[in-house]
Amino acid sequence: MADPQTPDWVRDAVFYQIFPDRFARSVTLPKPRHLDEWGAPPTYHGYQGGDLIGVVEHLDYLVDLGINAVYFTPIFQSASNHRYHTHDYEKVDPMLGGNPALRRMIDEAHARGIRIVLDGVFNHASRGFFPFHDILENGPNSAYLDWFTVKAFPLHAYDAEKAPNYQAWWGLPALPKFNVESPDVREFLWGIGRSWIEFGIDGWRLDVPSEIDDDEFWREFRRRVRAINPEAYIVGEVWGDAPRWLQGDMWDAVMNYQFTRACLAFFIGEDVNREELGKTSLHPLGPTGAEAFRRAIERLIGFYHPHVTAVMLNLLGSHDTARFASLAHGDVSALRLATLFQMTYPGAPSIYYGDEIGMLGGHDPANRGAFPWHKPESWDTDLLHEFQRLIALRRGRPALRRGGFRFLEAQGDVIAYARQLGDETVVIAINAGRGHRRVDLALRDVLPDGSILEEVWSDRTVRVAGGLLRGVELKPRSGLVLARPAPSPP
């Protein structure tokens, strides 16, 4: 098989994940009256009324942060605040502003150089999805009987005392699973994938796509999408290894939860909140320390084709995990160090909305709080500025986006690694420990003797001698970035 061809723009992307009901609520968009107060403790079923126009009104905030791609959790019409229970795949939820709001959001985002990726929930629909509702109404006489796998009538769709007598995701009656063997279902889902690309989105994040156990379905999905936009990004939600789908004929990448697990183990380590971790597939954490981190990262880099590694969606948290800082029991230094690594590692970094200002939250629904636009005094502005600085570092250094990666050191609490692209070299050293560290970094196969490296964000320089950078000083819970030469202005 030929080398996988993945979207070039993703190599330069810094993603921001938005949960639409909780990011921003525009006063210009009419809403139902029965909404929770903005900033109220998040609940499983309550709406706080965020919308796409609210996102438009804060696009300049994202630009200032350095974001150039946004991944939205589902936006299509649904009777749930998370909208994974899709009622209508052809309509943006009216509470979000409907299709016109998406049109405006795409246009204004693209004008700022920001790409838009939507969440595609194609494994299952909802009880309100019209073909399933038709079965509820008409039973065995429904015209849509083959869209789902029904075992008996009447359907136990709303009877809490009885298990659903139709195939449903994880046995949840609210989520009837599509029968993708049906030609009509296949054409419908492929058509949805194609039509929103035609509308102007830049890619799809696929919800639980491994549960559509049909490679030809995904091959045709890719063909339909890429026929409209050859640079469309297709990224799947898989929490483990995913080589089956990443050969170049189905998806481009996956949400890199293996990266997440490695970062949790090294930057938080034994102090991780195991109760919250245990609510996700990130449990068990695995071995901690620099040596284990090196093994985990080198395995990841070697596991996939370089074109795939270059576009993996590297995240520290999402709507399906407790926030990283909460898993660290509020230790923001863990988030700072992990973000430094994330922004200097191959692939596309993804920030979960609000992490950059220190938002906290345990597992769902606590991790889905409203962005506190109304309480700017609650923001950790030092953390925000650190995110801005690290994102700017990534975007200003081609080697950090497209260069090779190699470890220089991994012992105890210290890691060091180099990124190289042509004549540009960046060396990063991180001390995750609580004490000072002094290390010698071997650069014999990286840079010739006499090479000078500049410490980013300061005027200090160091020189390679005898194949080494000698006596590199690392403060507790800190990172150091050294680079040569200074890049041209972006």
Alpha-carbon distance of 142 to 150, in angstroms, equals 11
379: left (phi over 0), alpha (psi -120 to 50) or beta: beta
| 382 is known as an active-site residue | no
The single-letter DSSP state of residue 264 is I
Reported as type and span, the H/E element at residue 425 is: strand 424-431
Alpha-carbon distance of 215 to 35, in angstroms, equals 42
* Structure tokens that stand for 238 in this block: 């898989």
Alpha-carbon distance of 428 to 227, in angstroms, equals 40
Cα angle vertex 229, ends 223, 233, to 5°? Answer: 80
> Which member of 21, 207, 356, 409 is catalytic?
207
Bridge pairing between strands 468-474 and 461-463: unpaired
HEC per residue, 163-221 = CCCECEHHHCCCCEEECCCCHHHHHHHHHHHHHHHHHCCCEEEECCHHHCCCHHHHHHH
| 207 is known as an active-site residue | yes
The alpha carbon dihedral of 208, 212, 215, 219 has a sign of negative
Alpha-carbon distance of 13 to 11, in angstroms, equals 6
Contact 331, 267 (CB under 8 A): no
User: Facing residues of 439 across strands?
Assistant: 472
Residue that the structure tokens 């370089």 belong to:
306
> Which member of 237, 320, 356, 413 is catalytic?
237
The single-letter DSSP state of residue 141 is G
Residues involved in catalysis: 207, 237
